[in-house]
Structure 1
Amino acid sequence: MKWLGRRQSDNVEDRRGMSSGGKTIVGGGLIGIIILLVNVFGGENAQMITPILEQMQGSQGNQTETAVPLSKEDQEMGDFVRVILADNEDIWSKIFAENGMTYKKPTLVLFKGSVQTACGGASSASGPFYCPGDQKVYMDLGFFEELKTKFGAKGGDFAIAYVIAHEIGHHIQTLLGTSAKMREEQQGKSEAEANKLSVALELQADFYAGVWTHYNKENLDIGDIEEALSAANAVGDDAIQSKMQGHVVPDSFTHGSSEQRMYWFKKGFDTGDINQGNTFKEIR
């Protein structure tokens, strides 16, 4: 992606230079794998699962922080993230204004290891997620190495751009009231029915990521769309379940199949029309 020398957002909290001690809610091994499966591109799930994890992790120790210098690569990645966030700010501010609304810019938090949020605590094993409680996106950039090595996604910076745009999609849903309405509709539903609503929410966030990409075409390099589709394919529920447990359970899907995630990103990219992203009525 063409990003060097372009505007960077001021709405990034870079906590990667602080090494936190004390409590880490999500441990490694099995617990970390469970969280990665449940919460990859997590959207709403971080808030719901936190109390369970706190019980499993045990009592909280004293929290200490130590300054850690960032490498040149870390600094460059931070600059890239700021450019992508700035692109999202510019494009969504324009789209909202065209529809008679005002876009409220979210904050993106970069961290390493663990982080505390308004939705509870999380670790890097949680994957990138959006917390509606503080309207912030949280991201440990180490996730993208796992996306390549564990789940077979193509490398490249646009996979990161796609994930950021997806999480901003959850912010759009919060601003529009879609997320709150979805949670209300989940009440009293069976697990399978509630999961279908969760899938619709996640696919719509993929659609919004595609819409953002549509309006950012002039900054794309050859192969960027393929990188985004590869990432969407790698984190489909069916792909993850097949790789991690050897079989697929469609009723347990919470984010959508690989085919669905690629389809809705591509639809957003092809149309650029936010009115064509009602995944709650049109789950393919």
Structure 2
Amino acid sequence: MCEHVFPSTSPEALLAAVLKSNANTGNPRLKEILEIGIRHLHAFALEADLAPAELEVGLDFLVAIGQASGPKKHEGILLADILGLATLVQLNDARHALEAGGTEPALIGPFWRANQPERKNGERISTDDTPGPRLTVTGQVLSLDGTPLAGARVETWQASPKGLYENQDESQPRMNLRGRFVTDENGSFSFESVRPAGYPVPVDGPCGELLAAQNRHTMRPAHLHFLVVAPGHKVLATQFFDVDDPHAQDDVVFGAVGSLLRQFESDGASGFKLDVKLRMEPGETRVPKCPIP
């Protein structure tokens, strides 16, 4: 008798048969993930009393997610973002660091670029003709025990006051509002920029249709991205958000959490200033794959 044949039409017997078919999966972690996923999928279908036509709609949606992805857009990442899954996974992975006072992680997002320009501390990441109020950013990279981390690589990128990254906007010079810095002996870095603006996530694919069906807005609050690489520490990807942005409390991808919501303070002249502490967890240094060349 085939091992996949089950003697009953009960959901419990079907689940047992499907789990048995996973028993010989070679990779232990894959086996564990599949087993948990199978259990939850079956439970979901029963709790939702899912109809065959509804299952078909859901499968067509997943196919559309794949079809909408390409070299310049990853609709699957966007789906994980707008459902809060990506933020949940990041916060859960960093839970021990957060208990010890580490900086909250946030989404890398689709706009980090490889080979961002290396700049000296204090330099501008925006061209002189980039419009918008001046923003001065100072920061320090620390280990969880408060030790300053000299020689850490700090990458930053942001949208313009129009809400566009330079690779989306032909009017901006290449690599505008981007930079790569190295911390000094005190773990410090600094740069000049302009105050960023919020912007909508892409809505030209199935994720946009889902947001519309949920009657949700599409906006991300104004923010600056940081990615920090220091030997002997886990890579930290995070963002700092403008608490005065109208969507600071309801980020469409649920990334504006905890201490990442910050006041962009007046510098007493015509600009603003932001000071950040980036507290990193010791561990293996694994740099994530960059989404844009």
**Normalised TM-score (structure 1):** 0.25
Structure whose alpha-carbon radius of gyration is higher: 2
Structure ranking higher in helix proportion: 1
**Normalised TM-score (structure 2):** 0.25
